Chains A and B, each alone.
Chain A
Amino acid sequence: EADIYQTPRYLVIGTGKKITLECSQTMGHDKMYWYQQDPGMELHLIHYSYGVNSTEKGDLSSESTVSRIRTEHFPLTLESARPSHTSQYLCATTRDSGANVLTFGAGSRLTVL
């Protein structure tokens, strides 16, 4: 089983605050992804990275930003949280071999009041 960790698991915060959701993996994989999912709804890819200093935007436009300074970490930041950012954010990683089998973290459930 892959080791991918997300913190915090749950966050309730007020409008206008800066938020960073952490995602880390211990497998040394190059490919990492952030998905956003509202309850009962589909997954939307918002950011991905294929290696250090490489980041791309996904299919769903997002006001969040990401960085990939180290292979192990792929944090997601919201500079000024709004209620519309309330959602679950799922981080995932996959092997480099092209098998494209994603392993997800447990998710960060964000509520912005």
Chain B
Amino acid sequence: RKEVEQDPGPFNVPEGATVAFNCTYSNSASQSFFWYRQDCRKEPKLLMSVYSSGNEDGRFTAQLNRASQYISLLIRDSKLSDSATYLCVVTLSGNTPLVFGKGTRLSVIA
């Protein structure tokens, strides 16, 4: 079983829609969780960290479910500019490298 699993998509949604991605991780000892965004042919960039209590940044909400070992990303009121690949990232501790999922591709259509 892969350490981090994501549905590759693509998710094709109309502007204004709400879309949610899930990501599962296999190591229950994982400590830190992130969502990164990667535009086509660009480097990944941090979108948001995921905290145990859940956190929100504008239209983006991230949640962590330790019992079921998954994290989620919810995007409300999708914009065309949200079209990108969203990477789920997990790490055991500050001294272990991050593990990236394969990414979920989102296309927001006018």
Contacts and interface: CB of A to CB of B under 8 A. Distances in A.
**Do A and B interact with each other, yes or no?**
yes
B interface majority secondary structure: loop
A102 B93 contact: no
A98 B93 contact: yes
Q: How large is the interface on B (under 10, 10 to 19, 20 to 34, 35 or more residues)?
A: 20 to 34
B43 interface: yes
A81 interface: no
Interface residues of A, number: 22
Contacts of A50: 95
Contacts of B91: 100
Interface string A36-80: 000101110100101000000010000000000000000000000
Interface of A: 33, 35, 39, 41-43, 45, 48, 50, 58, 90, 97-107
Interface of B: 32, 34, 36, 41-46, 49, 87, 89, 91, 93-95, 97-98, 100-103
